[in-house]
Structure 1
Amino acid sequence: MQLAFPVLSISRMRQAALPLLFILLGIVYASWASRIPAVRDALQLDPAELSLVLLCAGIGAVGSFPLAAWMTGHFGARHSAGYAGVGLLVTMPCLALAPNIAWLMLAMTILGICSGCFDVAINALGATAEKIAGRSIMSLLHAWFCVGTLSGALFGSALAGIGMSPLAHFSILTATFALPLWLCYQTLPPDRPEPVSGKKYFSVPHGPLIVLGVIGFCGAIVEGSIADWSGVYMKDWLQATDGTAPLAFAAFAAMMLLTRLIGDRLKERFNARKVVTAGALIAGVGMLIALVADNIPLSIVGFALTGVGVATVFPFVFSAAGRHGSTALAGVATLSYGGGLIGPPMIGFLAHGFGLHAALALVGVLCLAVALAASQAKWLE
């Protein structure tokens, strides 16, 4: 009986560790997104310069996937998550410390590398947990990511509203999550490096995996563009305040969260292909509403609907790829996050030439592309 409490505590901590890692990634993601307008204004960046900054994050993320696959194969997903998580927390304050665009670009590149490695590691852990559970749980795990993005967006909105600097904001984040990250690393059961024939830890997707990558690619453009540009759009187009502007992304993240909470049940009832196809069509309608709205509340509703629509893209694509091992997962992730590489900067360059309103219309078109690709993706079932 004396051992019952410690054993029970360890069991509960292990159950909480993986969701907490997804929450951490979401908070880092949303914290940066919520302070983009402030960082932009502090360095007086125009849309093209901001696009270059965002491009560096995408280059870092996509370029990291061969490294992420090697780390997961060589050290195991648990160690990879720990190493990359430390990198995330250390890099966050550096974003606010950058004195000019060159240093900000460097910091964003490092953040992209760390986030890419961390993302592959925790999704590999999730795919393993899904196999052990014998049922679909990836949508629920990605729902925890949405808990992080929603919390990060709301917290960022509140801190921006009271005038707290991005440096103080990011420093609080780093100090708050240093101990939880260490506890997660210590609590997760030891894992073994995944043996890969011929030590080939990374390969470009081929065959049906390409379709999964294309779906993820377009989905990443949608998510990344809304995260990085919705606040700027709200502020510049609808004259929202610094405290109100992040609420568009917060609504997007909130509806992604709610949808992912029921995503696994929808998948079991209708199959992943139908769910992703229908969701992408809803996302297209949401973007239309967001862009034609002439007031802040209705535009926020549009972004929220877009969150409903794209919520199941990454969980189901990564779940399908993860069934074929971490090498396949990293390969599909490379194509997927290629959208994160070109999406936000592309929106910025289009905004520089045609206006942000017109540039974001492309996001709605890509939602339709996701629906078309998903309807043909038999490996999603």
Structure 2
Amino acid sequence: MAAFAGHLSEGAAIDWAALHARWILDTDPAAAPLAYTIFAVAMTTVRLLGDPIRARLGSVRTIQLAGVLATCGYVLVLGAPLTGEALRVVCAWTGWALAGVGLATVVPVIFSAVGAAGGPVGRALSLVTAFGYSGMLVGPAVLGYVAEASSLPVALIIPGALAAVIALSGAPAIRALPRADRVPVES
């Protein structure tokens, strides 16, 4: 579930950040794509630093922090239209940056935890990967249908809520995995 939520929230930013800036915030067409660029730069930067972050904080605290940051990012994005005209874009871009920072470590931490669990790692990792990437593929399209039926801000509540799911369910999911160093070796 956490991998699905992470991928869907990431896919939402990839496909909808620039359109949110253009359609909802009424950003200049030339500046609207910067929303996605800010998200991508933040995500890439933190993803490159993900292993040292996880080594320092541990997988459980890293995924909790990731979920909280991503949730805060989506709250800022969704709240941006409520701010003054001068702050709208800054608020949304800050939100996309926070979402990128938070979502950057979700999938690598989950994949690493599944790999460290031992047992039939290939089967477990393929299952987690399938659920994760289904969120990336299906999520943005579902958000498009929701946006068409209601509005883009209403659709973006979905990845914001799923970011909160990461914060709440990611840590218990990682704790529930057996660790390879605690799994008895069969003779």
> Is it true that 1:365 corresponds to 2:161 in the alignment?
yes
Q: Where does residue 313 of structure 1 map in the other structure?
A: 106
Q: Which amino acid aligns with 1:264?
A: D
Which of residues 261, 280, 296 in structure 1 aligns to 2:89? Answer: 296
> Is it true that 1:334 corresponds to 2:127 in the alignment?
no
Q: Counterparts of 1:269 and 1:256 in 2: how far apart (Å)?
A: 19
Q: CA deviation at 1:364?
A: 1.2
User: What secondary structure, in the 3-state scheme, does the structure 1 residue paired with 2:169 have?
Assistant: helix
Q: Which amino acid aligns with 1:354?
A: S
TM-score, normalisation: structure 1: 0.42
Work out the percentage of aligned pairs sharing the same amino acid: 33
TM-score, normalisation: structure 2: 0.82
Contact kept, 8 Å, 1:221 with 1:343, in 2: the verdict is yes
Q: Counterparts of 2:64 and 2:115 in 1: how far apart (Å)?
A: 20
Q: CA deviation at 1:326?
A: 3.5
Q: Counterparts of 1:357 and 1:280 in 2: how far apart (Å)?
A: 20
Contact kept, 8 Å, 1:316 with 1:380, in 2: the verdict is no
Name stretches of at least 5 consecutive residues in structure 1 with no aligned partner.
1-213
Contact kept, 8 Å, 1:283 with 1:307, in 2: the verdict is yes
Supply the RMSD in Å over aligned alpha carbons.
1.8
Contact kept, 8 Å, 1:317 with 1:380, in 2: the verdict is no
User: What secondary structure, in the 3-state scheme, does the structure 1 residue paired with 2:49 have?
Assistant: helix
Sort the Cα spacing of 1:304 and 1:254 in 2 relative to 1 into closer, same or farther, 3 A: same
Aligned length: 168
Residues 172-196 of structure 1 show CA distances to partners (whole Å, capped at 9, x for unaligned) of xxxxxxxxxxxxxxxxxxxxxxxxx
Q: Counterparts of 2:97 and 2:76 in 1: how far apart (Å)?
A: 10
Contact kept, 8 Å, 1:320 with 1:380, in 2: the verdict is no
Contact kept, 8 Å, 2:59 with 2:113, in 1: the verdict is no
Residues 212-246 of structure 1 show CA distances to partners (whole Å, capped at 9, x for unaligned) of xx110000110001111111111111222333222
Contact kept, 8 Å, 2:75 with 2:160, in 1: the verdict is yes
Sort the Cα spacing of 1:262 and 1:380 in 2 relative to 1 into closer, same or farther, 3 A: farther
Sort the Cα spacing of 1:300 and 1:327 in 2 relative to 1 into closer, same or farther, 3 A: same
Flag the structure with larger Rg.
Answer: 1
Q: CA deviation at 1:380?
A: 9.0
> Is it true that 1:217 corresponds to 2:29 in the alignment?
no
Q: Where does residue 71 of structure 1 map in the other structure?
A: none
Contact kept, 8 Å, 1:273 with 1:380, in 2: the verdict is no
Contact kept, 8 Å, 1:240 with 1:296, in 2: the verdict is yes
User: What secondary structure, in the 3-state scheme, does the structure 2 residue paired with 1:242 have?
Assistant: coil
Residues 86-132 of structure 1 show CA distances to partners (whole Å, capped at 9, x for unaligned) of xxxxxxxxxxxxxxxxxxxxxxxxxxxxxxxxxxxxxxxxxxxxxxx
Q: Counterparts of 2:171 and 2:66 in 1: how far apart (Å)?
A: 11
Q: Counterparts of 2:60 and 2:178 in 1: how far apart (Å)?
A: 5
> Is it true that 1:235 corresponds to 2:22 in the alignment?
yes
